[in-house]
Structure 1
Amino acid sequence: MMTGKKLIISAVVLALVQIGFLSWIIAGRAAILRDGRQVLLRVEPVDPRDLLRGDFIRLGYEISQIPVKLIANVPAGKLSSDDTSIVVRLKQGADGYWEATTAWFGKAPAPAASDEVDIVGQVAEGWDLSPEATAIAPDYGIQRFYLPEGEGMAIQNDMRVRPFGVRVAIAANGTAQIKALMDGDKTLFEEPLY
């Protein structure tokens, strides 16, 4: 049976472990926002409300649909995707928005050039990879952007009539975090580091 002193020590150790884990998650996200390579992606609105967390905009990107013909390493005869990661190489277009130039399942065969960046997403099992297939939809973990209460619907409506973008920070390993919501050249909301 545990004594009172051992019980207190165990509770303190457990609390420190939990605080350490949460701090590690927050610091990792902040490191990407602070040090990651920034790209601007064109967005498409989807849905504005979460009952537990408040207003948000659900974002779709041009890179949310990757043409199968851009995937350089689809094995011959492979007709559907596995649950796997995908590396999508981005390059900045003349309009300032970054676009997909090529993609690979698993890992890229070579590092991105200085004017390119690789973003890593997850592809669900079952996407059609046959020669007739059009596109797959990777999940990059940057599909939601939370806003102050009451702002979601207005921004959602504005997104339908004029171009919006999202400034995204991408870490060296391809992990992405939304840094800011842009209305044209104007920053509407910027994510704090912590």
Structure 2
Amino acid sequence: MKRIWFYVIVFLQAVFLMLMSMSYYTMDTWGESIRLKTAPVDPRDPFYGDYVTLTYEVEQVPEGKWNGSADTGSGEKVYLLLEPGENDLYTLVQASAEKPDASGEEVVLPARYEWHDPQRGIYMVDIGLDRYFIEEGTGQQYEQNREDMIVEVVLAPWGQKKIDSVTTSE
């Protein structure tokens, strides 16, 4: 009997790992692609190589677009409602602690609340897509074009997200 339970547990672990890896690749089929404006920074990691640190305009939420409570704690989940704007770049409609209903071409992007800056009148959130690994030695190219960078993000219906590409704007 113990032997059967051992094989069942091993089988379930293998199925779990396969489903995890499949979910990442099926995002390209069933996920929705959005474009966000960003400003990269070019650091280097001795273990992983060159990567670009990305910050997004939608991560700075003006007080007028904040629908969360005043006592939202750091690290709590918030939702960004985005809509396509000029050049198909998605812009922020509102941020909320409750998941809003998206209509038309709007999308909901999950994020984590970081902090509030009352002097600048903004709430800072993190969408969790701040590192993009690049080919060795190409960091200078990204650094030179930092004002015109566009990130294409794929959002899966089950809530997962990934960076598909980082390019310069047209």
TM-score by length of 1: 0.73
Distance 1:72 1:80, change over 3 A: closer
Rg larger for: 1
2:88 alignment partner, SS class? coil
User: Hey, what does 1:97 align to over in structure 2?
Assistant: 89
Hey, what's the Cα distance between the residues in 2 that align with 1:37 and 1:175? 11
| Aligned: 1:176 with 2:161 | yes
Matched residues in 2 for 1:31 and 1:117: separation?
19
Distance 1:155 1:21 in 2: 39
Kindly state the Cα deviation for residue 44 of structure 1 after the two structures are TM-superposed.
0.4
The question of 1:43 aligning with 2:38 is answered yes
After superposition, residues 1-194 of structure 1 pair within 5 angstroms as 16-74=11-69, 78-79=70-71, 81-108=73-100, 111-124=101-114, 127-128=115-116, 134-151=121-138, 153-160=139-146, 163-185=148-170
Q: Could you say which structure has the higher strand fraction?
A: 2
Distance in 2, matches of 1:129 and 1:60, equals 17
1:82 is displaced (CA, Å) by 4.8
CA distance 1:183–1:81, change in 2 (3 Å): same
Query: 5+ unaligned residues in a row in structure 2: which ranges?
Result: none
Which residue identity does 2:50 align to in structure 1?
D
CA distance, structure 1, for counterparts of residue 148 and residue 61 of structure 2: 21
1:139-175 Cα distance to aligned partner (Å, 9 max, x none): 2121111112222x22332223x51201111123543
What CA distance in whole angstroms lies between the structure 1 residues aligned with 2:152 and 2:125?
18
Partner secondary structure for residue 137 of structure 1: strand
* Greater Cα shift, 13-22 or 83-92: 13-22
Between the aligned partners of 2:5 and 2:134, the Cα distance in structure 1 is 39
**TM-score normalised according to structure 2 size:** 0.82
SS at match of 1:86: strand
| Contact 1:81–1:128 (8 Å) recurs in 2 | no
In 1, the alpha carbon distance for the partners of 2:117 and 2:39 equals 25
CA shift at 1:116, angstroms? 0.8
Assess if the C-alpha contact under 8 Å between 2:37 and 2:149 holds in 1: yes
Corresponding pairs, count: 170
- Percent identical pairs in the alignment equals 23
- Structure 1: runs of 5+ lacking an equivalent: 1-5, 186-194
Tell me: CA distance 1:106–1:10, structure 2 relative to 1, closer, same or farther (3 Å).
Answer: same
